[in-house]
Structure 1
Amino acid sequence: MASNLPCDTLKGNYSLLPCGYQHTFLIRDPKRTIVSYYKASAGCGIKFDEWLPSSGGVKQLYDLFVYVTEMLGQEAIIIDAYDLCNNPRQILQKYCKKVGLQFQDKMLNWEPGNNDHWLPFSRNAFFTEAFTGDAIRSSKFLPMANIDVDMEGLSDYGVKQIKEAMPYYELLYEQRIKPMGN
C-alpha cells in the first residue's frame, strides 16, 4: 500500500506516518543522486541550491529509519538502487521473503508508460522528462555502471550536501539487503 502524503508532509512529525505498513527504504549513493538532481534541475531552470534539501534528503531518510526501527520497533528493509538494478532477481527474492510475498518472475519486467502517478509532482513536461523519463520508458531493471561520478560543475552547495549525506548513506548502506557475494 502506498501513502498519498506529499514527500515533505512529515517534516519530522512522525505521528503523521501511516500505521500498518512494512517500511522499505530505497537508497542511492548521494554522489550519484545529487549530481543527477543538479543536472536535471539545471535543465529545468530550477535553482538547485534552493530546491535540494539539506544532505540531499539523506539525513531525513536516516531519521525516519531510526524512528521506524527504534520507536516503532520494526525491521526496516533497505534496498540500494545499484544493487537492485544490477541484481534484481536476487534482491527481489530476498525482499519478497522478508515481507512475506512470493517472488514471481513478472516482477522483473513491466509495461513502459504508466506514468499518471507522476503528474501531481511535475511542474511541466520537461520536469517530468528530466527527472523520470528513463523510468517511465523502462520495461525492466537496467544495470548501472560502477564508475566514478563526474562532479565537475557541481556547485559548492552540491558538494557540501554530498559530504553531509555520505555518513548517513553509509549507515543505511551497511544494513541493506545484500546481493550474493557481498
Structure 2
Amino acid sequence: MASYLVPPSDHATYQNAKLAPSASTSEVSNGSSNGHSNGVHKENLNNPTVLPLSTLKRFQFAFLIRHPRRAVPSYYRCCVPPLNEMTGFKYFMPNEAGYRELRVLFDYLRDESVIKHTPTAKEHATNGVNGSNGHSNGTNGSNGHGEAKPYEVCVIDADDLLDHPKEVIQTFCEMVGLEFDEGMLEWSANKGCESFDKWKGFHEDAIGSSGLRPRTVKKVRDAADERREWVQKYGEEAAAMIEKTAEENMADYEYLRQFKINI
C-alpha cells in the first residue's frame, strides 16, 4: 500500500514528506539533516516516504500492478452505491489510484539499493531498462549487522497472475526465499476473511473464491467498448472521469510493468 507511505499529490507534504510520528519523535521533515532523531539524518535527505530509510531496509518488497483500465473502474465501483455502503468510501478520488506513489517508492528503493534490477539477456541487448545498470552495487544492510545485497526487483502484473497463477507464484517464492507448495493455489471459500475486515467490500470476489486457476477466457475489448460499458453502468460523467484517471496513470503503470516477472 504505497499510498500509506508516500503523501498524495494534493497533500501539504507532497514535495516534503515528514516522518510518521510513530517512526520519529522529531517534527523535522525528511528533507532536513540536522535532527538526527530516531533515524532522521542525512540518509533521509531525499526520502519521499513517511518511514526512515533504515526501517524500509528491513523489508523485502514485492509490487503487484494492474492495468489502469481494469483497476480504476474496479475502484470506482467500490466508491458508489450499492457497494460503498459496505466499503464506507462515499466518493471517488482520482489521486487515490496509487500508481504515482508506487512508482515513487519503487524508484527510491532502487536509488538506495534496497532493491535492484538485473537486466535479462534481451534487455542487455537493448542497453538495459531505463538506466537500471548501476543500481545493483549498493547495500541494504542495517542495524549494524553487516552489509546485505539488494533484493532483486519483484514486480507482478495481475494479468500474468490470472493467466499463469502457478508459474507466477512459483517464481515469486523463488525470489523471496519461500518454498512453493501447491496448496498456495487453493483455499476454502471465506477462509481468513477476517483479515480483510478493514477493507470490507474491496475483496469480495477473492474472499468468495476457493483458489487461483488459469482463466480460460480473457476478455479482449477496445477502448470504445470499455467506455460504453462504463457509461452504461455509471453514466457519462463518471465514465469520463474513469477514463481520464486511467490515462493519467498509464505512464507510471507502463514504467513499472517493464520490470515485471516474465513467465
Fold match by TM threshold 0.5: yes
* Alpha-carbon offset, residue 134 of structure 1: 0.6
Q: Is the contact between residue 6 and residue 49 of structure 2 (CA under 8 Å) also seen in structure 1?
A: yes
Verify: 1:147 aligned to 2:224, yes or no: no
Question: 1:35-114 alignment to 2 at 5 Å?
Answer: 35-43=73-81, 44=84, 46-48=90-92, 51-53=93-95, 56-74=97-115, 75-113=152-190, 114=192
* Alpha-carbon offset, residue 147 of structure 1: 2.2
Equivalent-residue separation in structure 2 for 1:150 and 1:38 (angstroms):
14
CA change 1:101–1:6 in 2 (3 A) is closer
What is the DSSP-based 3-state SS (H/G/I as helix, E as strand, rest coil) of the residue aligned with 1:91?
helix
Structure 1 stretches of 4+ moved >3 Å:
16-19
Name the residue aligned to 1:8: 4
Q: Deviations over 1:127-178 (max 9, x none)?
A: x23x211111111124272422723324433222111111111111111011
Name the residue aligned to 2:195: 117
Q: TM-score under structure 1 normalisation?
A: 0.79
Equivalent-residue separation in structure 2 for 1:6 and 1:57 (angstroms):
7
Q: What is the root-mean-square deviation in Å for CA atoms of aligned residues? A: 2.4
CA change 1:71–1:150 in 2 (3 A) is same
* Alpha-carbon offset, residue 14 of structure 1: 4.7
CA change 1:101–1:9 in 2 (3 A) is closer
Identical-pair percentage = 27
Unaligned runs of 5+ in 1: 122-127
CA change 1:6–1:171 in 2 (3 A) is closer
Q: TM-score under structure 2 normalisation?
A: 0.56
Instruction: Give the structure with higher Rg (CA).
Output: 2
Instruction: Supply the AA of the counterpart residue of 2:249.
Output: A
Equivalent-residue separation in structure 2 for 1:21 and 1:160 (angstroms):
34
* Alpha-carbon offset, residue 53 of structure 1: 2.0
CA change 1:15–1:72 in 2 (3 A) is farther
What is the DSSP-based 3-state SS (H/G/I as helix, E as strand, rest coil) of the residue aligned with 1:42?
coil
Unaligned runs of 5+ in 2: 8-47, 116-151, 232-237
Query: How many residues get paired?
Result: 165
Deviates more, 1:12-21 or 1:31-40: 12-21
